[in-house]
A and B are shown apart, each in its own frame.
Chain A
């Protein structure tokens, strides 16, 4: 491994890492939004919408992101829906992540015993208050481990973005390997940069998880 090559490549990877994180965060934020909506629709059994949410969750969970991206990026423009790589990456990640987030929120909501709602009612709380002060905080604390796992999963999934010509970490590594054959240096930096992105999230996640374990009921 040659030091000067590492130094030369470092800024390229840095740029790519920033792009990866930006797109990843945008996708994750959208996925959380979709997740909350789908979970709410399914939990409150909104007619019609709940069927749509259920179908969406099945389709999104049972297809790979790479195939979803190919369809969005190469397929949709053919029927007149324009797209660009970045938008496609974010939308694809949100489409995939939305269902995982929905399942996480839903299992949280389902874990709150009915007695909690009944007790809140008997204390004279209305539905909004019950949701805001009783159900949501408890559901969230149950969902957190799954949500963190999903965030890490989605950050990892951003690695396929290079397939739709987004210049992310994988793209940069593959490009450099192809151009200069400095495979060892490129792969080393690739691993280092993914560790720099993913390790802090993973460590912060497990700290948060440990703290939240006390928030649960009776556990």
Chain B
């Protein structure tokens, strides 16, 4: 049985460095989610408007963002803006921009779905009760939409966290990069470190996402 390379983690501050790397990835996803949710709500509301030009523009935006792999979007923003406009943006900023664009599209579609799933008679009934359109939105539509949306947006957070692992590819020092550095630095003393260290990264990601997925599922069942 060869050594699994777990001992490397307890050398110096290696484990703390891994956690710090994970935090880099997590903070990129949390900032992006925080920006995506309000922007996505706005986009979802705009998507239910009848204006044909607005609709077409939003549709193209949504479809393009959704059909492109997120890594391609990262490349476009990170390498493309440099060559096109001569901007020199950091990997972190490029990631936040891409994940916010992506999150806004996804959230927008969720909001649109939730809004159009409110049956027409809800609007008609509240009108019959003498509600103004602002009141209808605030007291009738909003509470029902939010209930449908919360589990879905929590799911979006786990998807965001999983997707931020891609920032490694544009040179952001996150958990996988730190793992690589630790493995490289200990190549001589523990040649099998790759197994233990990558397994740890795997487990860390699982521990970050799993509770959030569980919460989303529980809310979904309860609010159905």
Q: Which of A63, A152, A177 contacts B205 (CB 8 A)?
A: A63
- B116 in the interface (beta carbon within 8 A): no
Q: How far is the CA of A190 from the CA of B82 in the complex (A)?
A: 17
- B76 in the interface (beta carbon within 8 A): yes
Q: Which of A63, A173, A174 contacts B206 (CB 8 A)?
A: A63
**Known pairs A62-B210, A63-B205; A79 contacts B83 (CB<8 A):** no
Question: Do A66 and B165 have beta carbons less than 8 Å apart?
Answer: yes
**Known pairs A59-B206, A159-B72, A183-B82; A75 contacts B199 (CB<8 A):** yes
Q: Which of A62, A79, A163 contacts B192 (CB 8 A)?
A: A79
Q: What 0/1 readout, one digit per residue, does chain B (61-78) give for beta carbons within 8 Å of chain A?
A: 000000111111001100
Question: Do A75 and B198 have beta carbons less than 8 Å apart?
Answer: yes
Which of A75, A152, A199 has the largest number of chain B CB atoms within 10 A? A75
A133 to chain B, nearest CB (A): 31
Q: How far is the CA of A178 from the CA of B44 in the complex (A)?
A: 39
Q: What 0/1 readout, one digit per residue, does chain A (182-207) give for beta carbons within 8 Å of chain B?
A: 01100100110011001100100000
Q: How far is the CA of A57 from the CA of B14 in the complex (A)?
A: 30
A153 to chain B, nearest CB (A): 10
Residues on A lying within 8 angstroms of B by beta carbon are 58-59, 61-64, 66-68, 70-71, 74-80, 152, 156-160, 162-163, 170, 173-174, 177, 181, 183-184, 187, 190-191, 194-195, 198-199, 202
A13 to chain B, nearest CB (A): 13
B interface, by DSSP: helix, strand, loop or mixed?
A: helix
Question: Do A163 and B69 have beta carbons less than 8 Å apart?
Answer: no
Question: Do A202 and B202 have beta carbons less than 8 Å apart?
Answer: no
Q: How far is the CA of A219 from the CA of B41 in the complex (A)?
A: 30
B85 to chain A, nearest CB (A): 11
A91 to chain B, nearest CB (A): 15
**Known pairs A79-B192, A157-B69, A183-B80; A67 contacts B165 (CB<8 A):** yes
B207 to A, closest residue via Cβ: A62
Q: How far is the CA of A116 from the CA of B2 in the complex (A)?
A: 55
In the complex, which residues of chain B have a beta carbon less than 8 angstroms from the beta carbon of A59? 206
In the complex, which residues of chain A have a beta carbon less than 8 angstroms from the beta carbon of B176? 66-67, 70
Which of A58, A67, A158 has the largest number of chain B CB atoms within 10 A? A67
Q: How far is the CA of A156 from the CA of B67 in the complex (A)?
A: 8
Q: How far is the CA of A58 from the CA of B214 in the complex (A)?
A: 10
In the complex, which residues of chain B have a beta carbon less than 8 angstroms from the beta carbon of A173? 75
Question: Do A160 and B162 have beta carbons less than 8 Å apart?
Answer: no
In the complex, which residues of chain A have a beta carbon less than 8 angstroms from the beta carbon of B199? 71, 75
In the complex, which residues of chain B have a beta carbon less than 8 angstroms from the beta carbon of A78? 2, 4-5, 191-195
In the complex, which residues of chain A have a beta carbon less than 8 angstroms from the beta carbon of B82? 183
Q: How far is the CA of A67 from the CA of B201 in the complex (A)?
A: 7
In the complex, which residues of chain A have a beta carbon less than 8 angstroms from the beta carbon of B68? 156, 191, 194, 198
Known: A62-B162, A79-B2. 13 other contacts (CB 8 A): A58-B213, A62-B158, A63-B162, A66-B165, A70-B176, A74-B183, A75-B197, A78-B2, A156-B67, A159-B71, A183-B82, A194-B67, A198-B68
Q: Which of B135-191 contact A (CB under 8 A)?
A: 158, 162-163, 165-166, 168-169, 176, 179, 183, 191
Question: Do A63 and B209 have beta carbons less than 8 Å apart?
Answer: yes
Question: Do A198 and B67 have beta carbons less than 8 Å apart?
Answer: yes
In the complex, which residues of chain B have a beta carbon less than 8 angstroms from the beta carbon of A74? 183, 194, 198
Question: Do B206 and A181 have beta carbons less than 8 Å apart?
Answer: no
- B13 in the interface (beta carbon within 8 A): no
